[in-house]
Structure 1
Amino acid sequence: MKATKVILVQDVPNLGEEGDVKLVAPGYARNYLIPRGLALLWNRANVALIESRRHQIQKRKEEKRKKAMDLKALLESEPLELEMPAGEKGKLFGSVTAAVIVEALQKKGIQIERKRVEVPGHGIKMVGTYKVPVHIYEDQRATLTVLVKAQGSGSGEAAEEETSEASSEAVSTQAE
């Protein structure tokens, strides 16, 4: 089977970025990339067309790099704190996965794809502080510090006092 050479017109996940020349299966090029306007067949006319747009493409790539650096600084600036149900010895009921981390980041307004988060051992199963690599753009990686706490730890005594006061108030109002 002979591969077909194409020039990407847009970023294509798991294949490449705009302006990249790639070898792909003929059916993939013919049935998916070209009809959807994601790529052009590699020939002299199309190479000249892409070369004329090379400056714009490089400018967009530079903007992506800048956004990636900003995201890296944001991820590394402060630890992500997660409260998870845990037993007395710090073993979690369940585990912290990439999906849990992505969901917590989304609550903070940070959008990252789940597959870009590389949780060590495919899941964190104990309370503690962990370093989680996050692939951002090209070869840039950020190290996200994840602080896993047991749910209700630290303020558990205060919460127990509040509930006992509330229940004693409820009992006294019922008795009257």
Structure 2
Amino acid sequence: MKVILNSDVTNLGEEGDICTVAPGYARNFLLPKGLVMEYSERNLASIEERRSEIEARREQKRKDAASVKERLEAEALVISMTAGINGKLFGSVTNATIAEQLAAQGIEVERKRIDVPEHSLKAVGTYKVRVKLYADEEALLVVQVVASNAQELEEKRSRLAGAAGQMKPSKEETPEAAEGSADAPEGDQESDQTSLDPEVIAMQQALEEEAAQEDADRSSPE
């Protein structure tokens, strides 16, 4: 079915364009919403009378898109999310998340125009996100995802590193000691292992189990 666009329609065209669409799409969606009108000589003449106004609006849209592109590419968008000790996020950053953050800065962009790599960002880091603007104009937005609980994570990593350090021998084993250790009965070797500080071992195990649980929580369906 041939129609004339009354306004811009994503993935279809701009105001004043002539398009061919499925009859059902036109009758059930486009026509009831006033987005298009049926193609006819009368309607075509009506559009041509408004052609200068339509072109003026298109020019303004191009200028607006250039302005938005400049703002998007001027600086990185920083988004804070709760993360685990391994840097993976609890939740994810989607195009809706980015659209909300941009709106808070006074930049209005439809979320469907924001192309997030693999549909969502799931770990802290720096990413490049394409934002489709007007016509073929695009902006490359840098998104920095940071951990909102960074201090807590740093403390956990420090405790884990400290626990790992305490579990290592305080001095290098001499060849004689190593030989003696190798010749020692199995029961004596087990005794050496159990002589490590139980609190240190417990701390390391707890932190490792916490990291494993964080991974399990993120991998489960939302």
- Return the TM-score normalized by structure 2: 0.62
- Counterpart AA for 2:141: L
After TM superposition, the structure 1 = structure 2 runs for residues 54-73 of structure 1, keeping only pairs within 5 Å, are 54-73=51-70
Question: 1:101: Cα distance to partner?
Answer: 1.2
Aligned twin of 1:53: 50
Question: 1:60: Cα distance to partner?
Answer: 0.4
Q: Percent identity?
A: 54
With over 3 angstroms needed to count, the CA separation of the structure-2 counterparts of 1:50 and 1:86, relative to structure 1, is: same
Establish whether residue 123 from structure 1 lines up as the match of residue 113 from structure 2. Answer: no
After TM superposition, the structure 1 = structure 2 runs for residues 1-176 of structure 1, keeping only pairs within 5 Å, are 4-30=1-27, 32-34=29-31, 36-153=33-150
Contact 2:84 2:153 in 1 (8 A): no
Secondary structure, aligned partner of 2:129: strand
Secondary structure, aligned partner of 1:137: coil
Secondary structure, aligned partner of 1:125: strand
Question: 1:35: Cα distance to partner?
Answer: 5.2
Secondary structure, aligned partner of 1:109: coil
Aligned residues: 154
Bigger strand fraction: 1
Question: 1:64: Cα distance to partner?
Answer: 0.6
- With 25-34 and 119-128 compared, the bigger mean Cα shift is at 25-34
Aligned twin of 1:171: none
Q: Cα deviations across residues 80-121 of structure 1 (Å, max 9, x unaligned)?
A: 111111122222222211121111112112111111111111
- Flag structure 2 segments of 5+ consecutive residues without an equivalent: 155-222
Bigger helix fraction: 2
- Flag structure 1 segments of 5+ consecutive residues without an equivalent: 158-176
